[in-house]
């Protein structure tokens, strides 16, 4: 494995990395940094947690001339949270480079403050597409000297409907530039963006390196007959949102999901006999938080690669160790921590002890959980999902739906949950108490100049 010194980073950056106790580059950094220092266009597939900000940020900072007070590098990100995070990380790497200014522009931040700061422009500007194009339209931002551009989390940029803004930003940049793109996935729309925006790009790929160490395994020894109550007590003792409960048979998924529903938990069954439309609906409700808990079989959970999964519960052990590890690996993705709980009968305890690759970090005692007969009523997520009869092919974007909910229903942006845009359908999670009004108002109004049918997803 290469060292940061071998990657030919300058003294100031190496000093910053040493201060941060970065000892060696991650795989994505080892691949990306040499290519970017050669000023080549790069398209990288990398998850959050893989070290991609340093992968593009270090060579980008090395290319900056602090003596020139103009925007020399632009980093485009999908959300204001990411804009703040990337700016903070870049500032850490640049801490020993004098006279280097790094700014972040994003919605919700004072436009006037940003405009005033451009009197002395930053050399590196991080921003969201909407706010950056606002500055372009008001002629407050000059990108004519920005010869480096990074499109970070490109799949999310496209998913959020920023194609037009990206086109406008890229047109404002010099033709002779270095374009860098990172994306967690390489769907067709991302590939199309690469083909249209990058020149002879080098493709690299790396996943997060820290996932295995981020999963904690807990065991709970119970008799088979005690499992329904033990599951209730466990879910009441933790934040149950984003939980997948694994069982071994289709009928058990329905029994356990119904048992949880009867005790106030927002849960649905996911099994191989579901029609595709019902499966898609179940997955959408889980992704946007309307459904907190999925009760699933192994076969039905294939493709359940979601950032939203916070914890796994093995209600029943599978037959083989590989299946157990595969189930457990659905949490702790993309550099996030995850938790795995196993409810184990005496027979299952013996089976688990024979699996060499499975280690239980801690055995829970039943008294550590809320007593099943004293369970308080469960607070449901309080969200309802609406279906809108238009999608990507109708040129609908999340911003259009947010705008309609704010203008027509009176919701605040912070109250609106996850929005999912499909080809001809869209889904949005909103507070339960606003759902009836939202359906009525949106059916009366137009979204982006057109009427759409809006209904509850049940």
- Do the domain assignments include residue 69? yes
Residues 6+ apart with CB under 8 A from 77: 83, 86, 126, 127, 128, 152, 153, 157
Question: In this structure, which long-range contacts are made by residues 283-286, counting pairs with CB atoms below 8 Å and at least 24 apart in sequence?
Answer: 284/385, 284/420, 284/427, 284/457, 285/385, 285/457
Beta bridge partners of 148: 73, 178
Does one domain contain both 36 and 137?
yes
**370 inside domain:** yes
From 187, 206, 225, the end of a domain falls on 206
Contact between residue 89 and residue 81 where contact means Cβ atoms under 8 Å apart: no
**Residue, of 22 and 243, whose pLDDT is higher:** 243
My answer on whether 54 and 187 are in the same domain is: yes
- Find the domain containing 359 and state its range: 212-374
Same domain, 242 and 189: no
- In which band, very low, low, confident or very high, does the pLDDT at 49 lie, cut at 50, 70 and 90? low
pLDDT at 212: 46
Looking at residue 191, its pLDDT comes to 94
Q: What is the CATH number of the domain that holds 242?
A: 3.40.50.300
Region of poorest pLDDT, from 48-62, 121-135, 329-343, 395-409 = 329-343
Is residue 374's pLDDT more than 80?
Answer: no
User: Does a structural domain hold residue 70?
Assistant: yes
Q: Which of 357, 374, 391 is the last residue of a domain?
A: 374
Say if residue 46 is in the same domain as residue 185.
Answer: yes
Largest CA-CA distance found in the chain, in angstroms, rounded:
73
* Least confident segment among 3-7, 102-106, 151-155, 374-378: 374-378
Residue pair 46/55 in contact (Cβ under 8 Å)? The answer is yes
What number of CA atoms fall less than 13 Å from residue 220's CA on the CB side? 27
pLDDT given at position 37: 96
On whether the CB atoms of residues 71 and 47 are closer than 8 A, the answer is no
SS (H, E, C) 15-66: HHHHHCCCCCCCHHHHHHHHHHHCCCCEEEEECCCCCHHHHHHHHHHHHCCC
For every residue of 299-344, DSSP letters joined together read TTTTT---TT--EEEESS--SSHHHHHHHHTTSS-TT--EEEEEEE
Of 389, 452, 455, nearest to 422 by C-alpha is 389
Total number of residues shown for the chain: 458
Residue 3 lies in a domain: no
Which of 350, 374, 398 terminates a domain? The answer is 374
Identify the residue with better confidence: 244 or 274: 244
- Per-residue DSSP letter, 407: I
* DSSP reduced 3-state for 442: helix
Same domain, 353 and 405: no
In this prediction, residue 47 has a pLDDT band, given cuts at 50, 70 and 90, of low
- Chain segment 73-84, per-residue pLDDT in tens: 999 998 877 888
Q: Which of 11-25, 84-98, 368-382, 442-456 has the lowest mean pLDDT?
A: 368-382
**Contacts for 371 with CB less than 8 Å, ≥ 6 apart:** 233
pLDDT confidence bin for 24, thresholds 50/70/90: confident
244-270: pLDDT as tens digits: 999 999 999 999 999 999 998 999 999
Please state the domain count of the chain: 3
Residue 260 located in a structural domain: yes
Give yes or no: residues 331 and 445 share one domain. no
Q: What is the C-alpha separation between 208 and 29, in angstroms, rounded?
A: 11
- In angstroms, the Cα distances linking 229 to 1, 224, 234, 254, 258 are 50, 10, 9, 16, 13
Whether residue 87 is found in the same domain as residue 18: yes
Mean pLDDT of the residues in the chain: 88
Are residue 47 and residue 148 in the same domain, yes or no? yes
pLDDT tens digits, one per residue of 206-250: 754 333 456 788 999 999 999 999 999 999 888 788 899 999 999
Q: What is the pLDDT of residue 306?
A: 61
What CATH number is given to the structural domain containing 405?
A: 3.30.70.330
Q: Are residues 133 and 220 in the same domain?
A: no
Confidence of residue 375 (pLDDT cuts 50, 70, 90): very low
Q: Best-predicted range by mean pLDDT among 105-114, 195-204, 234-243?
A: 195-204
Q: Do 238 and 290 fall into the same domain?
A: yes
Identify the weakest region by mean pLDDT among 117-126, 368-377, 434-443: 368-377
Evaluate whether residue 338 is within a structural domain: yes
Is 4 domain-assigned? no
Nearest to 89 by CA among 181, 4, 13: 13
Least confident of 19-28, 159-168, 169-178, 378-387: 378-387
Q: What does the pLDDT read at residue 337?
A: 65
pLDDT of residue 210: 38
Q: CB atoms < 10 A from the CB of 217, how many?
A: 18
| Same domain, yes or no: 220 and 274 | yes
pLDDT tens sequence across 332-365: 655 556 789 999 999 999 999 999 888 888 888 8
Same-domain check for residues 32 and 176:
yes
Q: Establish if 6 belongs to a structural domain.
A: no
Q: Report, as an integer, the average pLDDT of 164-176.
A: 96
pLDDT of 441 over the 60 cut: yes
């Amino acid at each position: 494995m290469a060292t940061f010194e071998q990657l030919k980073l300058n003294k100031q950056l190496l000093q910053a990395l040493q201060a941060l106790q970065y000892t060696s580059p991650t795989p994505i950094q080892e691949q990306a940094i040499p290519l970017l220092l050669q000023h080549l266009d790069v398209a990288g597939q990398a998850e959050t947690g893989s070290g991609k900000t340093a992968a593009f940020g270090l060579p980008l900072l090395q290319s900056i001339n602090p003596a020139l007070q103009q925007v020399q590098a632009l980093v485009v990100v999908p959300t204001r949270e990411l804009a703040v995070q990337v700016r903070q990380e870049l500032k850490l790497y640049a801490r020993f480079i004098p006279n280097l200014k790094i700014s972040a522009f994003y919605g919700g931040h004072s436009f006037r403050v940003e405009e005033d700061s451009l009197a002395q422009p930053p050399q590196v500007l991080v921003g969201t597409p909407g706010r950056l194009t606002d500055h372009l339209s008001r002629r407050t931002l000059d990108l004519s000297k920005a010869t480096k551009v990074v499109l970070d989390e490109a799949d999310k940029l496209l998913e959020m409907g920023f194609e037009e803004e990206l086109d406008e930003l890229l047109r404002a940049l010099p033709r002779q530039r270095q374009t860098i793109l990172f994306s967690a996935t390489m769907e067709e729309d991302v590939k199309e963006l690469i083909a249209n925006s990058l020149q002879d790009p080098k493709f690299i790929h790396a996943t997060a390196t820290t996932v295995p160490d981020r999963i904690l395994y807990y065991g709970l020894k119970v008799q088979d007959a005690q499992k329904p109550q033990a599951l209730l007590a466990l879910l009441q003792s933790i934040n149950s949102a984003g939980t997948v409960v694994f069982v071994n048979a289709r009928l058990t998924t329905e029994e356990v999901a119904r048992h949880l529903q009867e005790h106030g938990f927002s849960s649905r069954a996911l099994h191989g006999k579901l029609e595709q439309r019902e499966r898609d609906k179940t997955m959408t409700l889980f992704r946007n938080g309307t459904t907190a808990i999925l009760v699933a079989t192994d076969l039905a959970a294939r493709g359940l690669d979601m950032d939203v999964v916070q914890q796994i519960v093995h209600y029943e052990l599978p037959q083989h160790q590989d299946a157990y590890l595969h189930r457990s690996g659905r949490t702790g993705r993309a550099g996030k921590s995850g938790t795995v709980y196993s409810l184990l009968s005496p027979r299952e305890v013996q089976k688990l002890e024979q699996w060499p690759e499975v280690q239980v970090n801690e055995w829970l005692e039943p008294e550590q959980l809320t007593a099943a007969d004293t369970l308080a009523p469960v607070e449901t997520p309080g969200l309802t999902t609406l279906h809108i009869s238009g999608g990507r092919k109708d040129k609908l974007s999340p911003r259009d739906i947010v705008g309609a909910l704010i203008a027509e229903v009176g919701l605040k942006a912070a109250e609106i949950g996850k929005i999912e845009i499909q080809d001809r359908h869209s889904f949005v999670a909103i507070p339960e108490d606003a759902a009836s009004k939202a359906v009525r108002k949106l059916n009366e109004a137009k979204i982006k100049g057109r009427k759409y049918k809006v209904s509850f997803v049940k």
